[in-house]
């Protein structure tokens, strides 16, 4: 436990201003903020769900978050995705969401996808699938995903997509994760 705390403290010291850390949501605050963000995106913004997007997968899913870490020490969850293993070696990603105000920071969505697939790969994944809203399919294609079929879910067109696992080496230290996004003084 002390080793994990030391890793997190070291990672925090190395974090540049306005960086976004992609990591497993281990703490209560991160999990609660991920759920709040999902409600903001899928209920309020997109109107896909009425009041809440909770389902039975939440009980077994591994949530991942993107945490904006500012120079003043403040933290905000600005992205999330969840992964789960419904069958041995077959993993699914779902509920990918990025806060509207953070979509210009860059690499948050792709960072969440990378950690999701790479974490599953480290846990023995041989097939990683997702049902992706059609407008997001080009992003996934750029990240080495293939469309298997097109379907409609919740009245919206989606692509059933599969990740090309060789492009996602296993990551076993998702508790610390990695940094993405704009650094202070960098051009947008």
Domain edges within the chain: 2-180
Q: What is the pLDDT of residue 69?
A: 86
Torsion, Cα of 64, 182, 99, 62 (10° steps): 0
Under 8 Å CB-to-CB from 153, ≥6 apart: which residues?
131
What average pLDDT does this structure show over 103-124? 94
* Token pair of 88 as six digits: 């041995």
Residue 74 or 81, more confident: 81
**pTM, rounded to two decimals:** 0.86
Q: What DSSP designation does 42 have?
A: I
CATH fold, domain 2-180, is Aminopeptidase (3.40.630)
User: How remote is the C-alpha of 43 from its chain's centroid?
Assistant: 18
Model confidence pLDDT, tens digit, residues 55-76? 999 999 999 999 998 888 899 9
Per-residue pLDDT band at 116 (split at 50, 70, 90)? very high
H helices of 14-136, where? 28-38, 108-122
């Amino acid at each position: 436990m002390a080793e994990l705390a030391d890793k997190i403290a070291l990672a925090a010291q190395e974090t540049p201003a306005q960086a976004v850390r992609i990591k497993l949501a281990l703490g209560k605050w991160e999990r609660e903020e991920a759920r709040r963000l999902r409600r903001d995106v899928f209920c309020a913004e997109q109107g896909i769900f009425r009041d809440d997007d909770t389902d039975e997968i939440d009980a077994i899913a591994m949530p991942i978050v993107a945490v904006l870490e500012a120079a003043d020490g403040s933290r905000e969850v600005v992205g999330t995705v969840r992964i789960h293993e419904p069958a041995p070696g077959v993993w699914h990603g779902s509920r990918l969401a990025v806060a509207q105000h953070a979509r210009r920071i860059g690499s948050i969505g792709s960072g969440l996808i990378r950690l999701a697939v790479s974490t599953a790969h480290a846990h023995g994944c041989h097939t990683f699938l997702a049902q992706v809203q059609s407008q997001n399919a080009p992003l996934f294609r750029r990240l080495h995903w293939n469309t298997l079929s097109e379907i409609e879910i919740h009245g919206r067109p989606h692509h059933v997509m599969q990740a090309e696992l060789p492009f996602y080496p296993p990551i076993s230290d998702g508790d610390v994760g990695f940094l993405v996004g704009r650094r202070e003084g960098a051009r947008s």
